[in-house]
């Protein structure tokens, strides 16, 4: 029997994740969860209920979830759910490939066309967008967002809460710091410190004091 799944989020990206869930036989979409505007709970979304975040405690026994926020700042919503004992599932679309020698933590979403090579560890609540390529022996921290078409080579280390934007390229054995942002189309050839934004070809620091995106 399919597991009942709730999507944390009730906006545009939640609809995309709902479409993803519809093609994963392991899960049955049972509704959405809102944490900002209680009025959103007054009307169904895709003919399914929208629950207020405080209801997760009573739903935890027979539901799991994923968070549909593209921003790495989804961490606050996830923490609200965790505090109520709410469990998380892992979504891997049938058109994605996660090597059987690799792993992906709870709450992670791997979208169509993404490829995760062997001996790679993907953390919790990671979003791997369509067509992203992740090499072998990579470590990806929690709450990372990897944009569409991003390409990282082997032995990279991606810090928690970082954001790798669309089309970025990260060469072999690079470390991306926690909370860092790699701008769209950038080519990263040197390690990136924590909490900076890099951009360009090759990528250089363009902003400091960032915390994901």
Question: Would you name the residues annotated as active-site residues?
Answer: 136
Asked if 212 and 181 count as a contact pair (C-beta separation under 8 A), the reply is: yes
* DSSP H or E stretch at residue 21: helix 12-21
Closest CA to 161 of 130, 136, 192: 192
What lies within 8 Å, CB to CB, of 18 at 6+ separation is: 7, 29, 32, 46
Asked if 40 and 10 count as a contact pair (C-beta separation under 8 A), the reply is: yes
The answer, yes or no, to whether the previous bond of 202 is cis (omega within 30 of 0) is: yes
């Amino acid at each position: 029997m399919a597991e009942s799944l709730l999507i944390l989020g009730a906006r545009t990206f939640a609809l995309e994740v709902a479409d993803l869930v519809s093609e994963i036989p392991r899960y049955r979409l049972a509704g959405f969860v809102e944490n900002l505007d209680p009025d959103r709970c007054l009307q169904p979304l895709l003919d399914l209920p929208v629950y207020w975040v405080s209801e997760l405690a009573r739903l935890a026994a027979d539901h799991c979830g994923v968070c549909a926020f593209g921003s790495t700042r989804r961490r606050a919503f996830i923490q609200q759910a965790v505090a109520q004992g709410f469990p998380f599932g892992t979504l891997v679309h049938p058109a994605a490939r996660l090597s059987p020698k690799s792993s992906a933590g709870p709450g992670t979403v791997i979208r169509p066309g993404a490829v995760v090579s062997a001996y790679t560890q993907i953390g919790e609540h990671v979003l791997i967008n369509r067509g992203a390529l992740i090499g072998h022996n990579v470590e990806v921290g929690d709450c990372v967002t990897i944009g569409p078409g991003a390409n990282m080579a082997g032995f990279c280390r991606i810090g928690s809460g970082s954001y790798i934007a669309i089309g970025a390229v990260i060469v072999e054995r690079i470390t991306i710091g926690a909370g860092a942002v790699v701008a769209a189309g950038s080519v990263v050839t040197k390690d990136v410190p924590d909490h900076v934004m890099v951009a360009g070809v090759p990528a250089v620091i363009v902003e400091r004091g960032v915390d994901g995106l």
